[in-house]
Structure 1
Amino acid sequence: MVRKKILGEERRQQILNKLLDEKIPVTGSELADIMNVSRQVIVNDISLLKARNEPIIATSQGYLYIVNKTSAMMEKTVACYHSPDRTEEELNLLVDLGVMVKDVKIEHPVYGDLTASIRVSSRKDVKEFLKKIVNTKASLLSELTGGAHLHTLVAKDEKTLIQAEKALHMNGFLILTNE
């Protein structure tokens, strides 16, 4: 039996429905398979949906529709510095404390501020994120700045964020300000 392609607006609505139904990221390849179209068509559809202000983010694990459930969560931005070979150590340190690393930000000399969503909250997420970096031969954003970068940390309470910041400091990851 030949599967029918789902076209245009109907496909974009089905993509939204799928993302709303899932609590975990959905890959572009998975969406392409469901819709019987190419992955590039999905990439274009996601761009169109984002242009309509749909809160979809692309993570290293796939696409995610962000429902504002984090209002009860606390966020803190921290400035970090380390070599690429310490990335796994840094991320595992944070997720082991119950912190989600929402994103990584750098200040690029040409493009200005660049932010990438990474949304890792477990060792499994960290492992998958780093595996994707290796498999795609992509560079870490922090490599563009010699190791300096920011992370937005998300946790259930301020105490957890303070513990995370102390752990980063104790392990030599935190950039300290001269006050």
Structure 2
Amino acid sequence: MEYILRRIPSNDEVLPMAPEETEKQVHYLLGRLVHAFARLDLCIGLQLKWLGPYRGVEVDKLLNPRQPFQNRLDALKPLVLDMYAYSDSIAHGLYREWFERVENTKAIRNNYAHGRWGGWTPVREGFEFAALSWDFNSETMTPSVRMTLQDFERSVVEVERLFGEYMALEKRFRMQGRPSKAWEDEHLQRNA
């Protein structure tokens, strides 16, 4: 089966799309989302692999593909933030904001990768998405969400940006990172 993907029109363009074409675009964007998230997970794992041993933190068990992404993220966050809390408040703030955005996009990825898609309609009307659930009680189940391809693409682009933004922060602040004063003092005394 050959997929010919069209540019996703902006919200003010009216380019009707057959339901099959809308479905192809959703699947294309979903693939981009999963790929971007896998790339982000690799980045976090590699950062954890060098920063953990550098700081004397055991991280090997977290670098197992069966370990959830959240465990790696939770381990990396304090290591990175601690490196800049003492030495560079701007870097510390930018990294903190980056970690918050990762938390938000993780929820998007989990919902979209495991949810149900359907209701394919022309691009203006979009499609329906429902988070994975087996609750069929109409009073308690989470309602489906109607979104456009543009809405979905914005979410995908946000995840794609995170990898590049982390690497840009790493490059910009690489030389300013320092462990906390307490950590430095402890290790200086130990090595004296």
TM-score normalised to structure 2 length:
0.26
Normalized per residue, the structure richer in strand is 1
**Structure with higher RCO (Cα < 8 A, 6+ apart):** 2
Normalized per residue, the structure richer in helix is 2
TM-score normalised to structure 1 length:
0.28
